[in-house]
Chain A
Amino acid sequence: MALSRRLLPLLRRGGCLSASASPARALSMAAVPADADQEEAVTVKGVRISGRPLYMDMQATTPVDPRVLDAMLPFYLSRYGNPHSRTHLYGWESDAAVEEARARVASLVGADPREIFFTSGATECNNIAVKGVMRFYRDRRRHVITTQTEHKCVLDSCRYLQQEGFEVTYLPVRPDGLVDVAQLADAIRPDTGLVSVMAVNNEIGVVQPLEEIGRICREKGVPFHTDAAQALGKIPIDVNQMGIGLMSLSAHKIYGPKGVGALYLRRRPRIRVEPQMSGGGQERGIRSGTVPTPLVVGFGAACEIAAKEMDYDHRRATTLQKRLLDGIRGQVDDVVINGSMEHRYPGNLNLSFAYVEGESLLMGLKEVAVSSGSACTSASLEPSYVLRALGVEEDMAHTSIRFGIGRFTTEEEVDRATELTVHQVKKLRDMSPLYEMAKAGIDIKSIQWAQH
């Protein structure tokens, strides 16, 4: 595609540093932020950071891959039709794009395109899966099995079902984060309607034994639902090999756009759900509402890229995780990894630093965008329920930091994150009387704190 002559001067200026200079800025219609006008520094919430932080929070969301954006843009510019319009070119081309994207999503997980239904994200998929399945089979199935480390939307949907009179078993997990498969098999009753276990945990990165769970569920005739939002495109998923009946997928965790996801719903044997969205019957009646073509096309492109890049990204993430872990452990001690190291997706590293207060650690790490153990319950200062389910003590849960490594993470970023973290941890430990006592050999837990 030939570039317009007007834009050539932009490219000739070359280099990265001048890209934020006025010629490029003048072409943008985006609002200029009121504060950081002439300064390079960013001041937000009273904190002044010298520049944009390095991003290591891939589990919260991922940047959109430029190849994905390239695929999406035409659908915001000229091909803006509604895919459900049957009478004109705009509708036909939009529909064709949606179906192509559907095929790409399906091929990444080994499914048939007719088994993929687009939704607004994994949270909506989890709602449809948990509530939809149980409500459809409400006459014969009254019991749900899930784990204590599931995402909030699954746990909340289960709580909602309990109010409607269903029974829910919340399986505990072992200290390494993995669910006990024998315990799961024992918990299955004749009236169990759904087993829901997430594939890769968003907080600790632990990978559950999907094949074993799928096998057990298939033997006992119970639908197996897995929230694969963090797993898609990162670990190989095959719905037939893993006996998966329902699966929640999210686009913005695999370098796709926010606001779109997909529900996998098995056709053979057919699993039925009661739709949660009433309307015009789009997506075969499972999810009414206009399918957002640009987002769905982005999701399809992200899946296609993930299929090609999975091995490369996985190898890189493993190398970078090792670099980060060795770098931190080589300079500070009393660092605990939360969750199993063997059954882990390497792009997620959750560490607890003993004798360090969590909030102050995060306050000092403003140049690295990371998340802490209490992120998902961030309204309160309550430590993460996931870490609590692992048996992590409250003080260690408070000091947990989750490092996310992704496709675009560089070695230099890992090194800088290591340096900043080590610096902050050392600084806080120097000030910590608890650390002094621990180093002197006193067992903190045996101390009888005096009451005033």
Chain B
Amino acid sequence: MAAVAPTRAEVLSLFRSLLRTARQFSDYNIREYTRRRAADAFRENRALSDAPAAAAAFVDGKKQLEVAKRQAVVYSLYAPKAKNIMEMKLQ
């Protein structure tokens, strides 16, 4: 497969998809982690200058998005009735 670096639009679209999928996790910790990890990874990889490395990172990102989409469904199917303390208003 040709190692073509992704365009800016593609990268932004992937990032937005990851953040959107993160919001769909019913588990507080996984939701926060997905959001934070995606943001940190994209920030770190912004500096990647050579095309093959950027292409590889983009492909990896897309794989992670697929995993996240599947798992968001699985987690919501088995979400516990009681919410996490962190999701409730402070008493």
Contact = CB atoms under 8 A, between A and B. Distances in A.
B23, B26, B80, B82, most chain A CB atoms within 10 A: B82
Contacts of B31: 16
Contact of B76 (A3, A10, A408): A10
A24 B26 contact: yes
Contact of B87 (A11, A17, A30): A17
A41 interface: yes
B76 A24 contact: yes
Contacts of B80: 20, 52
Contacts of A63: 29-30
B76 A19 contact: yes
Q: What is the predominant secondary structure among interface residues of chain B facing chain A? A: helix
Contact of B84 (A41, A51, A67): A51
What is the size category of the interface that chain B forms with chain A?
35 or more
Given A11-B72, A70-B71, A16 B85 contact: no
A114 interface: no
Nearest to A43: B82
A440 interface: no
Contacts of A410: 29, 32, 36, 86
Contact of B77 (A28, A40, A49, A409): A28
A54 interface: yes
A379 interface: no
Interface in B34-73: 36-37, 40, 64, 66-73
Contacts of B40: 312
7 contacts: A3-B69, A10-B76, A14-B24, A17-B83, A32-B81, A70-B67, A312-B40
Given A24-B26, A52-B82, 13 more contacts: A1-B70, A10-B76, A15-B23, A16-B23, A16-B28, A19-B76, A20-B81, A40-B88, A41-B82, A51-B83, A408-B29, A410-B29, A410-B32
Interface of B: 23-26, 28-33, 36-37, 40, 64, 66-88, 91
- Which 10 A-B residue pairings sit nearest by Cβ, starting from the closest? A19-B26, A66-B71, A408-B29, A51-B85, A19-B76, A20-B79, A19-B79, A42-B82, A70-B67, A51-B83
